[in-house]
Amino acid sequence: MRCSAVAATASLPTPIQLTQLESAERKRVKSLYEALGAHPDKELRVLFEKSQRVFDEIATRHLPRWVVTFSGGKDSTLTALLAVDYLATMDSPPHLDIVYSDTLLEIPAMRRAAGSFLHYLRKFGTMEALPIRVRVVRPKVDDRFWVRMIGKGYPPPKPKFRWCTRRLKITPAASSVTNGKPTAVLTGVRYGESTQRTGRLVASCTTGGECGQDYWAQSGPTGSNITYFAPIIEWKTCKVWDFLHFVAPRAGWPTQDVYALYGDTSLRFGCWTCTLVRRDKTMEALVARDPRSPLAELNKFRNEILVESALHKNRLWRRNHWAGLRIEFRQQLLGRLKTLERSTGMQLLSREEEFEIRRLWVEYLAHKRGPKPKGSHKSALTQRVASSNGLPWPSPTRTGHADVWRAQPAVEDHRAAPIGNDPLPR
Ligand code: SF4
C-alpha cells in the first residue's frame, strides 16, 4: 500500500499525545507544512501544495463557513487534517463544521476510531481557539436501515438500487450543510491512481473507499450558497497513506489508529450490513485478525441476508418484476436479528426502531386485509402481529434508547454537539 522505497525507509515518529498537548506549556504543534519539510518524497510535497492551492482558492472567496464531510476513513481524515491545519494559518478563519453521519451500522472498530479522532479534533479546536465544531448526525428512525428493510420490505441495497446512502448519510447531514450561509463543502473524494480528470472516483464502497464521499460529490445538497471542493482529488491512495503514516504524526496528529485499522489491505469504510459488495473483504480481513470477534457472526448474517433475500420465495411479485421482501421473511429476519444481539452482546436495533418496524407491520397487514381496523379490532391485530414471531411487543420509549454498540464505549463526548434531525435523546 505504500508508494515507494522512500516512504518505507522513513522512520515512524512518536506521535504527540493529547495529554502532551494539554500540558502546562502547551506548545503549538508543528504545522503539516513544517512536518512535511523533513520528508524526502517530492511527489508528496507537490500534492500537498496542490491541496493548499485549493484552500487558497476557497479562502479568496471569503465564505464564512466550511464543512468537512467526515466518515472516519483515510480520505476524509486527510481532508479534515488539511482543512484544520490551513485554518490555523488564517488571520480570521471561517467557521469549520466537521460533520459525521453516524449510520448506527458502522463497523465497530471503525466507529471507535472515528469517534476518538473527532474527539481529538474538537479538543484541538478548543485549545487553539479555532472556530471548529464537530457535529454528529443520525438518520431519523423511519429512514434507518432495519426499519426500511424489515419494516417496509426494502431489499438489501445493490449498486443499481442504493437506497441507503442518501437516507443514512446525506439527508441527516444536509441540514448541517444547508443553513443559508455561503458554505464551502469539502469532500475527500479522489480520482485514485489516475491523475487525469477522466479518472474514476474511488471513494465508494465497492472500491475500498469511504461510503458517502462519492455521493456527496455527485448528489449532495445543492444551492447557490453551497460550493463543493475536493482538496485531495489528485492524491493517489499510497500518498494518502504516506501522509497519514509519516507526516501527520510528526505534527502531532493521531492518525495511527486509522492506519492500524486498514493495515496493508484496501478496506472500505462503511456499514457492516453493506450488500453493495458481494463478499465483504473488509469484514473478512477484520475477522481474520481476530477470529473470536463478534464480527464473524455479523458477517455471516450479512451474507445470509444477501443470499436469502434474492430467493423468489422471500420476494413479492408485482407488476412483472420481483419487488420488496415478504412479510413472513421480514418477521423471520427480526427474530434472527434479536438472536444475533443476544449472541454477540451488541445492541443492533434500538427500541424505537423495533417499535416502528412492528407499527409498519400492523399498518401493512391492516391494509392487506381491507378497511382500517378500529378500536379493539386494531388492538387485537396489533397483538397478533406482535406475537407472530413470539417476541414481546416493545413500547416506544424516549428513554429506552441505548447506544447501538452496547458492547462498545459511546462515541465520545462530541455528541454534545447539535444533533441534526435526530429525535432521540442523548
Ligand atoms: S456502507 Fe453500504 S449500506 Fe452503508 S450507506 Fe454505504 S452503501 Fe449503504
DSSP character string of 308-340: HTTSGGGEEEETTEEEEE-HHHHHHHHHHHHHH
Give residue 408's pLDDT: 30
Assess if residue 64 is contained within a domain. Answer: yes
Assess if residue 312 is contained within a domain. Answer: no
Q: Report d(CA 147, CA 27) in Å as an integer.
A: 49
For residue 116, report the distance from its CA to the centre of ligand 1, in Å.
Answer: 22
At 401, the pLDDT band (50, 70, 90 cuts) reads: very low
User: Residue 358: which domain range?
Assistant: 351-400
At 1, the pLDDT band (50, 70, 90 cuts) reads: low
Is the C-beta atom of 107 inside 6 A of ligand 1?
no
Residues 232 and 373 reside in one and the same domain: no
Residues 110 and 249 reside in one and the same domain: yes
Residues 241 and 379 reside in one and the same domain: no
Tell me the pLDDT tens digit for each residue of 67-106.
999 988 889 999 999 999 999 999 999 999 999 989 999 8
Q: Which of 55-59, 280-284, 368-372, 421-425 has the weakest average pLDDT?
A: 421-425
Residues 102 and 14 reside in one and the same domain: yes
C-alpha pair distances (Å), 274 with each of 61, 298, 329: 38, 11, 19
Assess if residue 248 is contained within a domain. Answer: yes
Tell me the pLDDT tens digit for each residue of 229-256.
999 989 988 899 899 988 998 888 888 7
Is the C-beta atom of 81 inside 6 A of ligand 1?
no
Most informative mutation of 143, 162, 219 for ligand 1 (most atoms within 8 A of CB): 162
Q: Output DSSP code: residue 66.
A: E
Residues 258 and 357 reside in one and the same domain: no
Q: b/e per residue, 132-170, with b = 16+ CB within 10 A?
A: bbbbbbbbbbebbbbbbbbbbbbbbbeeeebbbbbbbbb
Residues 245 and 384 reside in one and the same domain: no
pLDDT at 8 over 60: no
For residue 154, report the distance from its CA to the centre of ligand 1, in Å.
Answer: 14
Asked if residue 72 lies in contact with residue 100, where contact means CB atoms within 8 angstroms, the answer is yes
The end-to-end CA distance of the chain, in Å, is 39
Give residue 322's pLDDT: 75
Tell me the pLDDT tens digit for each residue of 262-289.
765 667 778 999 998 888 888 888 888 8
Residue 181 sits in a domain of what CATH number? 3.40.50.620
Give residue 56's pLDDT: 95
Question: Order of strands across the sheet with 95-101?
Answer: 132-137, 95-101, 65-70, 183-186, 226-229
Residues 97 and 234 reside in one and the same domain: yes
Give residue 2's pLDDT: 52
Assess if residue 190 is contained within a domain. Answer: yes
Residue minimizing CA distance to atom 2 of ligand 1:
274
Assess if residue 143 is contained within a domain. Answer: yes
pLDDT at 133 over 80: yes
Is the C-beta atom of 359 inside 6 A of ligand 1?
no
At 379, the pLDDT band (50, 70, 90 cuts) reads: low
Give residue 405's pLDDT: 28
For residue 424, report the distance from its CA to the centre of ligand 1, in Å.
Answer: 22
**Number of compact structural domains in the chain:** 2
Assess if residue 286 is contained within a domain. Answer: no
Residues 135 and 43 reside in one and the same domain: yes
pLDDT at 419 over 60: no
Residues 357 and 208 reside in one and the same domain: no
Assess if residue 166 is contained within a domain. Answer: yes
Question: Closest Cα to residue 247, out of 2, 70, 57?
Answer: 2
| More reliable by pLDDT, 10 or 253 | 253
Cell of 316: 413479492
Assess if residue 279 is contained within a domain. Answer: no
- In this prediction, residues 186-194 reach a mean pLDDT of 75
For residue 169, report the distance from its CA to the centre of ligand 1, in Å.
Answer: 9
